[in-house]
Amino acid sequence: MDVETLNRTIAEIEAKTAAAAAAAGSVDVLRAVESGVLGKKGTLGSLLANIREYPAEQRGQVGQIVNAAKGRVQELINARKAELEAAAGAADAAAGDTFDPTVPGRRGKLGSVHPVTAVQWEVERIFQRLGFTVEAGPEMETEYYNFEALNIPADHPARDVQDTFWLASGMCLRTQTSPVQVRSMEKFGPPLRIIAPGRCFRNETVDASHATTFHQVEGLLIDRDISLAHLIALAQTLLSEVMHREVKVRTRPGYFPFVEPGIEIDMNCQICGGQGCPTCKHSGWLEILPAGMVHPNVLRAGGIDADEWSGFAFGLGLTRLAMMKYGIKDIRVLNSGDIRPIVGAARLSGVVLGGRE
């Protein structure tokens, strides 16, 4: 190709490129145009590949012509690229979709533990300090451990108040954490100090204070010469630590087939301070900790000599305690996905729950 033809060819390429760049609607399309012209095999880019065809004295001139053309085309492409980028930015901004990579990212909310879990952990820590180990039992339980071993034979009226969900296999969903008592006696033998937090189930009509699924913490201590005084002292320590203030306790007789004697340990109402309010049914006291001295039949079921060993047991209503501690009035919100009533109630009682930033 002589120099004249070269100049004509270059002029055509430049004209075509200008048209193609103007027509390109996006940076990607423009890039394809760019490499089609300036790339090694592009229309301009390949012109110098056969520079050896020119006589030696012309090669410098040809090189200059081609390179100057390349420079002009590159400028044209760059200008069009800037135009396209500005247009894209304006469109994003108009759609409210600006992205500034220098702004620090927004952290996702982490969430926090469920109020019942929070209280459970607290209770576990308190008991571990007192030398108790934390045990777990199965939620799907045999009739033997849930009832019989706890001195509740098949014809006992106590079965009626603990109606539950029966499985086709003959097992049931445990109505209480008490079955962990005999399981632990069998596992460890005396002396023994355990607590067993966990889920329990009952066939209940659901209302603000009854749910079919709720949490308890069972406690069991077996040793020599254990009396009710030990139990009451422990209850007072536990409840004061959980409530983060000194609470008063009182005891009343209570009946549970697996303890003898059985007692109800009440604490002074944390909502009204003992003056009387709807939560404590105007008595000033809250029923919180049913307990008693382990019945000899239960010790025997666990393979323990009832003449040598004695002990106490209690069943703390963990769900109830969490509601009291965080001021949650309706048990149903605890098993729902809606955390607003929980967070709101907790905040009112001075506790911060809910999502953390």
Q: How far is the CB of 157 from ligand DAH (least distance, A)?
A: 14
- Choosing from 34, 135, 141, 218, the residue that interacts with ligand DAH (CB under 6 A) is 218
For 10, 118, 208, 289, 355, the CA distances from 339, given in Å and listed in that order, are: 71, 15, 16, 27, 10
In terms of DSSP H, where are the helices of the chain? 3-23, 27-38, 59-94, 115-129, 143-146, 179-188, 228-243, 296-301, 318-326, 340-348
Q: How far is the CB of 200 from ligand DAH (least distance, A)?
A: 7
Pairing status of strand 192-201 against strand 213-223: antiparallel
Q: How far is the CB of 124 from ligand DAH (least distance, A)?
A: 17
**313 lines the binding site for ligand DAH (CB under 6 A):** yes
**311 lines the binding site for ligand DAH (CB under 6 A):** no
- Choosing from 259, 286, 321, 331, the residue that interacts with ligand DAH (CB under 6 A) is 259
Pairing status of strand 285-294 against strand 310-317: antiparallel
- Among candidate residues 194, 150, 147, the one with its CA nearest the CA of residue 173: 147
- Choosing from 17, 176, 184, 270, the residue that interacts with ligand DAH (CB under 6 A) is 176
Give the nearest residue (CB) to ligand DAH.
Answer: 315
Residue with smaller CB distance to ligand DAH, 115 or 290? 290
**164 lines the binding site for ligand DAH (CB under 6 A):** no
Q: Give the tokens for residue 113.
A: 């533990």
What's the helix, strand, coil split of the chain in %, to 5? Answer: 45, 20, 40
Residue with tokens 């006291």: 285
Q: How far is the CB of 161 from ligand DAH (least distance, A)?
A: 8
**291 lines the binding site for ligand DAH (CB under 6 A):** yes
Count of residues in contact with ligand DAH, rule CB under 6 A: 11
**149 lines the binding site for ligand DAH (CB under 6 A):** no
Residue with smaller CB distance to ligand DAH, 146 or 270? 146
**137 lines the binding site for ligand DAH (CB under 6 A):** no
298 contact partners, CB below 8 Å, separation of at least 6: 149, 150, 151, 181, 182, 258, 259
Select the span of 9-17, 20-28, 270-278, 284-292 touching ligand DAH (CB under 6 A). Answer: 284-292
Determine the Cα–Cα distance for residues 280 and 267; give it in Å rounded to an integer. 10
User: Contact positions toward ligand DAH, by CB under 6 A?
Assistant: 176, 178, 218, 256, 259, 290-292, 313-315
